[in-house]
Chains A and B, each alone.
Chain A
Amino acid sequence: MLFTSYEFLGFTAALFLAYYCVPKKCQWPLLLAASYIFYFIAGPDYLIYILATTATTYGAARLIEQNADRQSAYLKEYKAELTKEEKKDYKEGQKRIRLRWLVVCLLLNTGILAVVKYTNFMIANINDVLAAFGGNRQLSFVTLALPLGISFYTFQAMGYLIDVYRGTIRAEKQFFRFALFVSFFPQLIQGPISRFGDLSESLFERHAFNGKTVCYGLQRMLWGYFKKMVIADRILAAVTTIIGDTGTYHGAYILVGMLFYTLELYADFTGGIDITIGIAEVMGIRIQENFNRPYFSKSLKEYWRRWHISMCAWFRDYVFYPVSSSGPMQKFTKFTRKRFKGALVRHLPVHLSSFVVWLATGVWHGASWNFIVWGLLNWAVLVVSEELEPLYARFHKRFLVGKSRSYRIFQMGRTFLLVCVLNLFDCYHALSDTFGMLASLFTSGNWQVLWDGSLMNLGLSGLDYGILAVGTLMLLLVSLSQRSGSVRDKIAAKPYAVRFCVWYGLFLIVLLMGAYGIGYDASQFIYNQF
């Protein structure tokens, strides 16, 4: 079920109704049932995967916590009798047991993810190697269905397990409540990756009907549908045309394609997240924000704090911090610190840790080389800008441009363009195409296509361009307005007639100008393939 299908709308509408009709203690069980029905409709075979992850993670977390509880009880009881050494030994021993559970469970679940997602990628690479050595044997690909949202729910479950291991949250005792946390259906399609600590309270709470929350939730959904249906799905036609034919579309077209794709990705992904958060909000459930006006970022580093926040936080907390604070890495840091003075070398350990993170991020995004290169390019840009920081600082000081408004806008434009270029790696699956097309930007010299009417042949009419222009302007204005607080609050403060016109108007725009139905191919959310 796609967010934009009638089935999905019917499903959520029925759920909303039921949610506020059943006794409040049945609300979360109802959500669990709905989530599993949703999952079942997506593919009955997938159930086994999500159940396996749920059961193993639940079990491991419980075992880890029981062990930790036993440890503190033991230490408390024998506080007087044990020497400091004995205590330390005991603690170490227990910690090893817990670590073992953690590692086994992590390996198992990331293993499942790796097998369903990366088997064919590995086979393709092995085949390439075999062919390179002149072998005639080739391995055949396997057909493994990629269960819906497996990247998201696996990460969510693993984050929970690590949090329990670290003792930052208590393990969930009730299996079914935990099952809901893993399977909560609006998040299955394209995230965000919620933390148990953030989500659990409002997920299991009893919610009385609150007109304001319900309205706000529906408004958020509507805004999401606007982004998705009016902008993303419309511009998709042009993006597919450009990407689909590298022979015709190169040079100036790539600039257009990059901008269009970046707009599409934004509208599609943030729109989808708006729908997800809106659905939860209607039911009184709070999901953490996943975006913070990312295209207003002044550097790539800032961009990655404002784009897909939940994923970045996951990699930071569960990969970057553990790797960089690990024993070997700390030793390496000490070593470089003692031996070298240069900033680059001293930063080497941090860059190394972040290399691991970006490699993992690339792999997570997709099972192919273009994503890996995409991740590593992000890393390279971040390293370069980090190392050039002192240079920038000096430049800013000398020319006093650091704080001016126009310079900030320049920085935003620069970051936006950088993101556009990086997104190209997401468009073309073959790396040679990406590099070739990037090069063609400078060699094709076909800039006339920008004004000679060629852009009318990309599958968009003049009217489409008009709608896109107005739609993008709306996105921009709402983003600008968000800086001074919630736009919904601002609208809510207006008289009823104004509010009615705003929201009903938006609804009509989606209804009439949405790219849906016959003639517009139902497009998948870009992110639900990850």
Chain B
Amino acid sequence: MEHTIDRNNKKKAWLRGIVSAILIVGSLWLLQRLLVPKYVDGIVEGAFVAEYYKEEKDFDVIFVGDCEVYENFSPIVLWEEYGINSYIRGSAEQYIWQSYYLLEDTLRYETPEVVIFNIQSLQFDKSQNEAYNRMSLEGMEWSMSKVNAIKASMKENEHFLDYVFPILRYHSRWSELSATDVEYLFKTKKVSHNGYYMRVDVKPAEQVPEGRILSDYSFGENAWKYLDKMTALCKEKGITLILIKAPSLYPYWYDEWEAQVEEYAAENDLRYINFLELQEETGIDYNTDTYDAGLHMNLSGAEKLSVYLGRILAEEEGLPDRRGEAELAAAWEEKIADYEAEKAYQYEYYGINKTVTELK
């Protein structure tokens, strides 16, 4: 009799322990889901990196880099005009080590023909901002590439553990939760078009300030190291690496920087396209093609750049036209529909008369 009571007690204690453990883990997981930023409205850039994993990964071109790639090139145009299947793995102020590891991460799923990297981020030798680290890294799926990316990115006051358990980082966000956090507790919303961030509004570039004089124009050792790694990785996988500089008037792009990149490209036999020097060829008009006075392109600017870049990719790099692939074409149909829908929405939102813009 006593024996059974004892056994029952033990059973009860076990049951209690298991139920408590499930409660704890479950509630912590829920809390974490609730507290992490959702990036579905306002700052959507934080959601870009994660969106890639939902794709059918069979791209011919992969872009890596900061806002100078995800706001300046439209994969939709590349598809519509040239049948090129591309994706932008961009994120806000993506540092070069993050670009490298994002590329490494991409190569776990596929090997594209061409990788395009925007060299703006060479100017940084170490991560500048924790918030940008977060937006570039959090969306990555766990792999050694992510681990290394975090290690390469962390600033002094950051901890690896905060990336493993983001609740530790966002624990005080409970005071600023909104309905969005509940709505997107278990789901996400597509916020980019194959990594492209669309803006249709216009703000002409006016006086662009001259770059202030720097004490040292040479890029840092760490930045070079990751460019070397990227070059080597592409070479090893038989990928063509193309370096670009987007036509952003600001932040200022120094001649001294340009010289270093040109030299590097020549040494490593890489194609380097500086869109700042191609205003005429691309047809960029800083009065109509930028939405923030020259920092980033708007839709009009991005489409012009894409047409120009697509021609090079198709004609000079010989990328195939895949519009004949039925399945792929069907997937793109959907994407194009989304793209057009957002275009229409934004034109209305910003109160722009579409026909007038197009006529120009």
Are chains A and B touching in the complex at the 8 Å CB cutoff?
yes
Judge whether A6 and B159 touch: CB under 8 Å: yes
| Contact in complex: A504, B158 (CB < 8 Å) | no
Query: Which of A496, A508, A512, A513 meets B16, CB within 8 Å?
Result: A496
- In the complex, chain A residues whose CB is within 8 Å of the CB of B161: 6
Is B175's CB within 8 Å of the partner chain A?
yes
Q: Choose among B20, B24, B167, B172 the residue that contacts A519 (Cβ–Cβ < 8 A).
A: B172
B169 adjacent to A500 (CB under 8 Å):
no
Quote the shortest CB–CB distance from B188 to chain A (angstroms): 24
Q: Does B130 contact A (CB under 8 A)?
A: yes
In angstroms, how far is the closest chain B Cβ from the Cβ of A143?
A: 23
Complex interface: chain A residues within 8 A of B172 (CB): 512-513, 517, 519
Asked if A518 and B169 make an inter-chain contact with CB atoms under 8 angstroms apart, the answer reads: yes
Please state if B171 and A512 are interface contacts (CB–CB under 8 Å).
Answer: yes
Which residues of B in the span 113-162 have a Cβ within 8 Å of any Cβ on A?
A: 130, 157-159, 161-162
A500 touches B168 (CB 8 A): no
B171 touches A514 (CB 8 A): yes
Determine whether the beta carbon of A511 is less than 8 Å from that of B167. yes
Chain A CB within 8 A of B174 CB = yes
Within 8 A of B (CB), among A478-530: 496, 500, 504, 508, 511-514, 516-519, 522
Question: Which one of B157, B168, B172 has the highest number of Cβ atoms from chain A below 10 Å of its Cβ?
Answer: B172
Nearest 6 CB-CB pairings of A with B: A512-B171, A6-B161, A463-B175, A512-B174, A6-B159, A518-B130
Q: Which residue of A lies closest to B168 (CB)?
A: A517
Interface 0/1 of A358-391, CB less than 8 Å to B? 0000000000000000000000000000000000
Q: Which residues of A contact B20 (CB under 8 A)?
A: 500
CA distance A508 to B159 in the complex (A): 20
Report B's interface with A, CB cutoff 8 A. 16, 20, 23-24, 31, 130, 157-159, 161-162, 167-169, 171-172, 174-175
Main secondary structure, interface of B, reads helix
Cα–Cα distance between A513 and B174 once the two chains are bound (Å): 9
Which residues of the other chain, B, contact A508 by a CB distance below 8 angstroms? 31
Q: Are A518 and B171 in contact (CB under 8 A)?
A: no
B132 to chain A, nearest CB (A): 13
Residues on the A chain within 8 Å of B130, using CB: 518
Q: Is the Cβ of A504 less than 8 Å from the Cβ of B24? A: yes
Determine whether the beta carbon of A517 is less than 8 Å from that of B162: yes
Which among A504, A512, A517, A522 is the interface contact of B169 at CB below 8 angstroms?
Answer: A517
* Nearest CB in chain B: distance from A499 CB, A: 10
- Chain A neighbourhood of B158, CB < 8 A: 518
**Contacting residues, chain B, for A519 (C-beta < 8 A):** 172
Cα distance, A6 to B171, chains bound together (Å):
15
Additional A-B contact list (15), CB under 8 Å, known A500-B23, A522-B157:
A6-B159, A463-B175, A496-B16, A500-B20, A511-B167, A512-B31, A512-B174, A513-B172, A514-B171, A517-B168, A517-B169, A517-B172, A518-B130, A518-B157, A518-B158
- Please give, as numbers and ranges, the residues of chain A lying within 8 Å of B174 by CB-CB distance: 512
10 A-B contacts (beta carbon < 8 Å): A6-B161, A463-B175, A504-B23, A511-B171, A512-B171, A513-B171, A513-B172, A517-B171, A517-B172, A518-B157
Residues from chain A with a CB closer than 8 A to the CB of B159 are: 6
- Nearest A residue to B19 via CB reads A500
A465 to chain B, nearest CB (A): 13
Interchain CA distance A517-B16 in the complex, whole Å: 33
Shortest Cβ distance from A464 into B: residue: B175
Q: What residue of chain B has the Cβ atom nearest to residue A521's Cβ? A: B157
Chain A residues contacting B171 (CB-CB under 8 Å) are 511-514, 516-517
User: B171 — nearest CB in chain A belongs to which residue?
Assistant: A512
